[in-house]
Structures are given as C-alpha cells and as structure tokens.
Amino acid sequence: MRFRVLGSGSGGNATLVEGGGARVLLDAGLGCRQLAERLESAGVDPASLDAVFVSHEHGDHARGAPGFSARWGVPLALTPGTFRAAGLDGAKIPAWEAIGPGETRTVRRLAVRAVAVPHDAACPVAFVVSAGAVSLGHATDLGHLGRGLVEAFRGCDAVLVESNYDPAMLRDGPYPWALKERILGPLGHLSNADTGRLLERGLGEACRHVVLAHLSRKNNHPDLALQAAEEALERAGRRGVELTLAAPEGTAWIPVRAPRAAVGRGHGQLRLF
Ligand SMILES: [Zn+2]
Ligand SMILES: [Zn+2]
C-alpha cells in the first residue's frame, strides 16, 4: 500500500491511497479541477479512482466531493450525517454509500473503517485503511484524543494525524476569540502537544511512519510541529519512526510497509522456491 497527500490544511485536504488493487481518496477538500490536476501530476487518472471517502462536511474536506464524483463518475462514501450536513443531492452524484462510525467498507481488496472522532461536525470520522497485512490510520480534524481512535490506530503501520496549532501562537494570533475558543475546545483541533501525546503513548509497535498534517498557517509553524513530534518520539524511544510534514500542496508517495520481521519472513519463503 502507498499514499500521497494531495492537499493539507485549511486550503483543502485530500489524500490518495493505493492498495489491494484499489485507489481511493480520503477527503476531497480541493476544487474539482485542482483535485484532478494534482491526481494527474501524481500520474493517476481521476477516472480510475474507485471511491471518495469524506470524513466530515467542512469545506476544507468536502468542497470538491460532489463535483468530482459527478465529473469523473466516482462514488462517494460518507456517514449519513455528513451527507445531510454537506447538503448533498443524491440525484446529482452517480452513487454514494453510507459508512457509519465503526463500520468497514471494502473496495476490491482495500478495507476502509470509519472511526468516530470528536469534532464540531454532524458525524465526523477518521479512517483506518487496510490492504493485506498493512494499514494506515488517517485522522485530520479532532478536538481531543479519544480511546476509540487510539485503539484503532495502535495496529497501524503508518499514521497521518493533524498537528494543527501552537497554543501560544493561537492565543496571540489574529483569530476572533470565539474562533480561538472553538479551536482550543474539545471539539476543535489537536495542538502540537496533543499530537505529541498520541506519538508518545498511542503508537503501536508496527508504526514506522508518521505524517503531520493540517497545520494552521496562522497559528502554527512547521518547525514547532516537527520539534514537538520529534521530542515525543524521542521520549517514547521510537527512533525508527520516520516523520514527514505535509505541506499545503501535499507530499510525495509514502510507502506503507509491514514491520521488518514480517517482511523478512516473506522474502525468506520466496527465496526457497
Ligand atoms: Zn473540520
Ligand atoms: Zn479541516
């Protein structure tokens, strides 16, 4: 399995995942045309996608979903709450499938599980995407770390998680106080320190790669997010975990590999024949 962030942050979020003979998007928060351009620059025909999973109705995650679905004939998968809150019209999209929190939908041999997260949206979810023996945890907007998410992510070989804000920059920054309170609240976003707690205590043994995503341009700095994550991994003694910071324009392809012991065993068996 491999994945590639196509957009990250308030300008629009989307992640392309390939595995199990399938290609899916997690979120479509870029405009339809921009989404197609970024897919094409990754060497992927937009019409070749099997599904678009939408985490919640906020524009930076759902903006391009209905247009992209209609233009390229790609079905959507989302919670009924997100479908209603996004104001989608079933007659204007080729197909959509409901996926409730805790449920799994399988696309060819790629399994996508929705995990409930605390965020100020109708029915927001994170995703765990699995193909064969490997899995990717993908959580962008959430106000705090719930036990359900931590348990779901513990078995993941790679994790993408938001590292949204630095509290001091947010407090001193230009946002109106009501918005600051929303971001800081239990249904808002994760601070660099919150994300650090997940990296320090919540990563399973299998995890080899962490992507920090959805950084606020106004209330965070890439160096602060990276430093908090590096220190958390250091405290946990996890020097083997690779860290990638997702730029607003996304990342290169990131492979998701099984832990070395499992890979070694597989190759050994192959060499015997
Ligand atoms: Zn949101
Ligand atoms: Zn967002």
pLDDT in tens, 187-240: 999 999 999 999 999 999 999 999 999 999 999 999 999 999 999 999 999 999
Distance (angstroms) between ligand 2 centre and the Cα of 235 equals: 29
Distance (angstroms) between ligand 2 centre and the Cα of 111 equals: 23
Which residues, other chains included, contact 83 with Cβ-Cβ below 8 Å and sequence gap of 6+?
Answer: 96, 98
* Residue 27 near residue 61 (C-beta atoms within 8 A): yes
Beta bridge partners of residue 136, listed in sequence order: 129, 158
Helix then strand count (H, E) for the chain reads: 10, 14
Using alpha carbons only, what angle is made at residue 167 by residues 251 and 127, rounded to the nearest 5 degrees?
40
Report the distance separating Cα 87 and Cα 66, nearest Å.
Answer: 10
Predicted TM-score (pTM) of this structure? 0.94
3-state helix, strand, coil in the chain (%, to 5): 35, 25, 40
Distance (angstroms) between ligand 1 centre and the Cα of 271 equals: 48
Distance (angstroms) between ligand 2 centre and the Cα of 13 equals: 7
Distance (angstroms) between ligand 2 centre and the Cα of 60 equals: 5
Beta bridge partners of residue 53, listed in sequence order: 26, 77
Residue-level pLDDT at 259: 76
pLDDT tens for the chain, residues 1 to 273:
999 999 999 999 999 999 999 999 999 999 999 999 999 999 999 999 999 999 999 999 999 999 999 999 999 999 999 999 999 999 999 999 999 999 999 999 999 999 999 999 999 999 999 999 999 999 999 999 999 999 999 999 999 999 999 999 999 999 999 999 999 999 999 999 999 999 999 999 999 999 999 999 999 999 999 999 999 999 999 999 999 999 999 999 999 988 765 554 444 344 433
Amino acid at 250: G
Report the distance separating Cα 112 and Cα 104, nearest Å.
Answer: 5
Distance (angstroms) between ligand 2 centre and the Cα of 12 equals: 8
Distance (angstroms) between ligand 1 centre and the Cα of 259 equals: 32
* Residue 14 near residue 26 (C-beta atoms within 8 A): yes
